[in-house]
Amino acid sequence: MREKAQVQNVLANLGTLLPDLESVYKDIHSHPELSMQENRTAGIAADRLRAAGYEVTTGIGKTGVVGVLRNGDGPTIMLRADMDALPVREATLLVAFDLGGTFVFALSGATVAVKHKLDLFGVLVLSFAAGNSGGIARDVMIGAHPPGGR
């Protein structure tokens, strides 16, 4: 029952997070970075995680970022996000981006966990993967374990 109440509280207050998350979404789409060149985007992830109280490790697989929030006993939960844009040119000359949704989703999870002091997990791990395009992320992130992961 406690979990249901926490989820209802998060959903009821979600609107307060949306303006900031929309701003981040628009910002990273205004500054797309190709695979293994996600330095600015990684900086945004790292800065926001640190500001929220996460232990942050940067440079995983070159530009990857991992944030760890310790919350007592309970399961370890991991959210993973991509950071790179895909270099696709369409006939309309628009460039396609494949980064905003998962990136903002993971940041929102990080924010909600801290803001609402959720006790649904013991450790929350946020992984902002380097080089998602072409399977690079899989190769560079394998073997990289955040401190305290179970």
Please indicate, yes or no, if residue 135 is contained in any of the structural domains.
Answer: yes
Band of the pLDDT at 62, cuts 50, 70, 90? confident
At 61, the amino acid letter reads: G
With DSSP H G I counted as helix, E B as strand and the rest as coil, what are the percentages for the chain, rounded to 5? 45, 20, 35
DSSP E strand stretches across 8-91? 55-60, 64-70, 76-82, 88-89
Q: Which pLDDT value is given to residue 140?
A: 54
Please indicate, yes or no, if residue 52 is contained in any of the structural domains.
Answer: yes
Number of domains in the chain: 1
Flag whether pLDDT at 148 surpasses 70. Answer: no
pTM of the model: 0.78
**CATH number of the domain where residue 64 is located:** 3.40.630.10
Please indicate, yes or no, if residue 148 is contained in any of the structural domains.
Answer: no
Helix (H, G, I), strand (E, B), or coil: what is residue 33? coil
Q: Where in the sequence is the domain holding 104, given as residue range(s)?
A: 2-141
Q: Cα(137)–Cα(26) distance, rounded to whole angstroms?
A: 24
Please indicate, yes or no, if residue 68 is contained in any of the structural domains.
Answer: yes
Residue-wise pLDDT for 116-136, tens only, equals 777 778 898 999 988 776 555
Q: Which pLDDT value is given to residue 83?
A: 87
